[in-house]
Amino acid sequence: MTTIYGIKNCDTMKKALTWLDEHRVDYTFHDYRKAGITPETLARWCDKLGWEALVNTRGTTWRKLSPEQQAISGRADAIALMEANTSVIRRPVIETESGEIITGFDPLRFELLFGATGGQP
C-alpha cells in the first residue's frame, strides 16, 4: 500500500490527497505532526532522495528556526532537525509499496507513478 506522509491542513497536502482520491489510489495517510516520524524512516528517505530534497528551506517553519538550527552540516543534523521539527519536512512524501519515494505534489509525476487512473479499474 502507498503511504502519504505530511500534515493534514497543508494546502499542498490537500491537493495531493484530492488527486489520489480522484484517481482512486489506495493509500494510508501518516500525519507526522500528530504521530511523529522515526529517525529510521527519515534515514530511508535521505538514502533515497538526499536530505536536501527533504528539508523545506522556503517555509515559515524554516524561517522561524535559529541560525544554529539552520546550520545543517550533513545527514545526521538534517535527520535530527526533521525529527524535532516535522513541519520543516517538504510535503508530501509518498512511499509506494515497491519502495519508490517522491516528495512534493506534481500531477504529472503522480500520473507517472500511479498511472492516469491510479492503476485501479
User: How far, in Å, are 19, 37, 111 from residue 105 at the CA level?
Assistant: 9, 20, 11
Catalytic annotation present for 46:
no
Q: Are strands 27-31 and 2-6 parallel, antiparallel or unpaired?
A: parallel
**Beta pairing partners, 94:** 4, 102
Catalytic residue among 4, 10, 81, 82: 10
- Supply 83's cell numbers: 525529527
Q: Annotated catalytic sites, by residue?
A: 10
